Amino acid sequence: MVTNTRKTLAWSLWTMTTFFYAFQYIIRVSPSIMVDDIMGKFALNASELGDFTGAYYLGYALMHIPIGILLDRVGPRWIISGSVFLSVSGIVPLFYCDSWAVSVMGRFLVGAGSSGAILGVFTIIRLHFPDNLFSRMLGISVMIGLAGAIYGGYPVGYLSDHYGWEQVLFGVVVLGVFLALAMVFFIPKKTETQQGPSFLKLAIANGKALIGRVLLTALMAALMVGPLEGFADMWATSFLIHVYGYDKALASSLPSLIFIGMGVGSPLLAMISERFKAYYPVTLLSALGMGSCFLAILMMRPDPWIVGALFFIIGVFSAYQVLIMYMNSKNVDDSLASIVTALTNMIIMFFGWVFHKSITLVMDRFWDGTMENCIPVYDTKAYTYGLMVIPATLALAFIGFIFLRRRAPLS
């Protein structure tokens, strides 16, 4: 009876935290569907919108390790539920006030809260499931989370068109509050047997081990995140509408294929790399594949089905992040695996802000000053030059990983 109760509790906690992981993806991608509405309400240009979008990644990156420390010391009950509350509270300024500065601060809170989602999943699986099930459970969680990104596309756009974007965001906030309260009631208190290695102590005692190869690998990986965090998260829908001339329904649904591709690629790239011991070659192939597909999208005007196929391929190769986490964990002692994973993910997510800021600065540089209903209208040239940042950084990462591979402990 006790065993069955523990199993029920474990599955319930995993379900709630995995739902939060998917839920934060919906919050993350929703603004890309509401770009014109947000720009119209606050009278923004691309650079100002880039500050808003990039604030998410700043919040996510800066809070990643602190939340990891708090999960270790305080326990998951208050930290995970608090992360949910932070995520949804950051949405409120968009529909409740007219201050753009407050909305940007809110976006920062969304990112800060979202950083607790994947770390919460790690913690719940580690505390309540056997070690031999960790990879399997995490893989399922990632796939469900990516489904949240998918449903943050077309369905959110549909609901926004029929009920208004502000009402949709309000509904998201209400759902988040209920989820946070449920976690407070269901997640048990931390016990002494749930003590794990301290992120902070490991970082201080082994700081030198985190410098050099780990940071370089993380930085090269961060240069490859543009297609996902710089394009799919924000500019994909707008790009397809204004450059390709697609209607909003098609333009908001096609980018979902990037997240579907990543869901397929996560186990696929890992399986290939493990089977052939080819972590660096697969990472190099990912950089080359994403760069080639992205150049085709920018320089050509393929049919929608080809655009969808290219998006799917980009998504598959975006799963290179799974390999990077494993590669970096093997660059240090096993006792440092957790801190290295958190640090690597933090750096990668921080570059979401870097990409958004770079893209919007270039777009504003090539903007011809056209306005429509007080909203800046960017032409094909502005979009093309702005998004060209992404294949350029992919090329840099490709070269960087070639040099890193020469002294790699993994092939």
Structure tokens at 187: 């997640």
DSSP-based three-state secondary structure for 193: helix
**213 in Cβ contact with 340 (< 8 Å):** no
Structure tokens at 96: 């409740």
Residues 3-23 have pLDDT tens digits of 677 888 889 999 999 999 988
Whole-angstrom Cα distance, residue 166 to residue 220? 38
Provide the total of helices (H) and of strands (E) in the chain, helices listed first.
20, 2
Give the model's pLDDT for residue 221: 96
Give the model's pLDDT for residue 7: 85
Whole-angstrom Cα distance, residue 116 to residue 176? 14
Whole-angstrom Cα distance, residue 79 to residue 401? 36
Give the model's pLDDT for residue 1: 47
Structure tokens at 393: 């950084």
Phi, psi (rounded to 5 degrees) for 385: -65, -40
Give the model's pLDDT for residue 207: 58
DSSP-based three-state secondary structure for 375: strand
CB neighbourhood size of 324 (10 A): 24
Q: Give one DSSP letter per residue of 38-94, joined into a string.
A: HHHHHT--HHHHHHHHHHHHHHHHHHHHHHHHHHHHT-HHHHHHHHHHHHHHTTHHH
The helix (H) or strand (E) run that includes residue 376 is strand 375-376
What is the chain's Cα-based Rg? 21
- Counting Cα atoms < 13 Å in the Cβ hemisphere of 376 gives 21
- Measured over all CA atoms, what is the biggest interatomic distance in the chain, rounded to whole angstroms? 70
| Separation of first and last alpha carbons in the chain | 48
Q: Say how far residue 359 (Cα) sits from the centre of its chain.
A: 17
Q: Averaged in consecutive runs of 10 residues, what is the pLDDT profile of the chain (411 residues)?
A: 74 92 84 76 76 82 81 84 93 84 90 88 81 66 77 71 84 91 87 51 56 85 93 88 90 88 84 84 96 95 94 94 79 64 82 88 88 80 94 97 75 53
**383 in Cβ contact with 77 (< 8 Å):** no
Residue 194 is classified by DSSP as: G
Cβ density class 226-254: b for 16+ within 10 Å, e for less: bbbbbbbbbbbbbbbbbbbebebebbbbb
Q: Give one DSSP letter per residue of 135-153, joined into a string.
A: HHHHHHHHHHHHHHHHTTS
Query: What are the structural domains of the chain?
Result: 1-195 (1.20.1250.20), 197-411 (1.20.1250.20)
